Structures are given as C-alpha cells and as structure tokens.
Amino acid sequence: MTSEIDQFILYIATERGLSPAYQLSVRQSLDALTKWLDQQGIERWDDIGTEELTIFLTAQKNHGLSASSLRVSMVHLKIFFRYLTSKKITIADPAEPLLSPRGDLHLPETLNEQHITTLIESVDVAKPLGKRDRAILEIFYASGLRLSELCHVRLENLDLEEHFIRVTGKGNKTRLVPVGGRACEAVQDYLKNERPELVKKKTSSWIFLSIRGGALSPERVREIVKQRAKAAGIKQSIYPHLLRHSFATHLLQNGADLRVIQDMLGHADIATTQIYTHVDQKGLKSVHQRFHPRG
C-alpha cells in the first residue's frame, strides 16, 4: 500500500506543485492511516469503505487529535482517495461522504472597516518612508496578498493603468489580483516621489525597498505593520495576515461571490475560503440578536 502513497506524494509535488511542507503533512496523515489499517488486518485500498475511515478518524480523535487537525487529516484522505479512484485503484471513493468534524472552529481574526481606515490614513505621507508604508498597507488590504507575495512583487508585475498586480503564491502558482483605486494612488505616489530616493546601484526591480535599496524582508514588513498600528492607537495585535483576512471578510460581507474571493486569495480548494462564510455568519447572528425583537 505504501507504493500508492509514494506515487501520490510524487503527483502532488510534480503535478500540483504543492510545497514540501504540505507533502510531509499529507504523508503523516496517510502513514497514520496505513498503521491503523495494518492493525485492522486490511491490506488493500479497495477493502476500505466510508465506515472504516470514520472509525479511523474517531480513533484519531480519541487519541487527542483536535478538531482542526482532524479536518486537515480528512482533507488529505479526500484528495488521496479521489486520486486512487481516478487511477482505478479503488472502484468507489470511500472518503467522499465524510463530513468535516464540527467544534473548535477557530475563525480568523479581522479588523472592522473603521479600524482599517484609521490604520491606513494615520500614516503621514509627508514624513520619511510614509509613502512606502502607506502603499504597503493599501496593497495588503486592497489585494489580500500574503506577506511573502508582497515582499517579492516587482515593478514588472504591476499594471497601475489596468489596476492589476501579478503575484506568485503557494505552489509557485501565478495569479492576477485587482488593485483598488486608492491603493493604486498610494503606490503611484510612492513610486514617483519616494522609491527613487531609496534606489542604490545594485537595486533590483522589487517594488518595496528598504533604506539600503534592497527588498524588504518579511520580518521588516511585519515590524512596519505593527509599528504603524501602534502609532494609529490600535490596541489589537496587528499583523500582515490580519489585513488579508479583513480583505476577504469585507468582500464577502459586501456581497462578493465566494469563488471570486477564492481566486483572488489564491486558494487551491474552496474549502479553505469557506472559513470566511463562518465569519460572515457570526456577524449576521450578532446583528440578528441585536436588532430582532426576539433575538
């Protein structure tokens, strides 16, 4: 049974371009499954049904696996058995009927729209590096970029006339992401009036530069976001990914389609994006309880 796992890991590495860390995570889930199957005396993939997978996941839960880890393990099982079925190794997909475990749902933190406005507009663009830092915050919130994506974006990836930016995300996958009008204005201001002063002899085409003319490191960008939030008087812990969460949540709350948000975030599976529907439902419930006569 291990040969099919090896083939599957090779498939997600070469065909789907998933990271070594994700490959390791998948292998750990499948190794746990094969160990349990060996204990049960099951030697063929085609002898596994939905009931066996349910018993396995229950055993994992009883051994202390959290609901979030169970969900990850279930995703791994689903994509693995979908692969086995596509290769005719199994006749039917036993993982397809599995339902995600409920409880212990950790919703992503977000900032409300007023806090976002306060954070961005508190940056004084007349002061040194103000234009750069304002542009960074605008891009994070306008386009929902990951920290690594923002740090690696280059001038040739940006089209301010069409309001798009090309980024390379997880799995080395490239996508086009819209850039809002205010973000375009902030980036244009930075590129025209501040970036030239940061350019040195060996400066490359990175958009966001340090005072030494090199690309900003992820650690430095985290520090910039934290410092700007503190200066704005925001007591909540602020970090770049929080702006990405806020971007997705506010789009959903204002009526954006979930699959469009999935494309903009660069999620391979819409199940990852669906976490934001829980955030939105939480907000709806709060509004209902507050304003409904019998809430």
Active-site hit among 78, 195, 245, 267? 267
Element (H, E) at 90: none
Active-site hit among 132, 146, 152, 228? 146
Active-site hit among 170, 175, 182, 226? 170
Is 250 labeled as catalytic in the residue annotation? no
Is 267 labeled as catalytic in the residue annotation? yes
Is 276 labeled as catalytic in the residue annotation? yes
**Which residues lie across from 167 on neighbouring strands?**
175
Helix (H, G, I), strand (E, B), or coil: what is residue 172? helix
**What Cα–Cα distance (Å) separates residue 148 from each residue in 14, 172, 208?**
22, 12, 12
Active-site hit among 131, 244, 245, 250? 244
Torsion sign over Cα 192, 198, 201, 206: negative
Residue-by-residue DSSP string for 117-141: HHHHHTS-TTSTTHHHHHHHHHHHH
What residue type is 264 in one-letter code?
M
Q: Are 103 and 121 in contact (CB under 8 A)?
A: no
Helix (H, G, I), strand (E, B), or coil: what is residue 148? helix
Is 228 labeled as catalytic in the residue annotation? no
Q: Are 83 and 9 in contact (CB under 8 A)?
A: no
Residue-by-residue DSSP string for 183-242: HHHHHHHHHHHTHHHH--TT--SBSSB-TTSSBPPHHHHHHHHHHHHHHTT--S---HHH
Is 146 labeled as catalytic in the residue annotation? yes
Is 102 labeled as catalytic in the residue annotation? no
Burial (CB < 10 A; 0-12, 13-18, 19+), residue 95, is buried
**Active site residues per annotation:** 146, 170, 241, 244, 267, 276
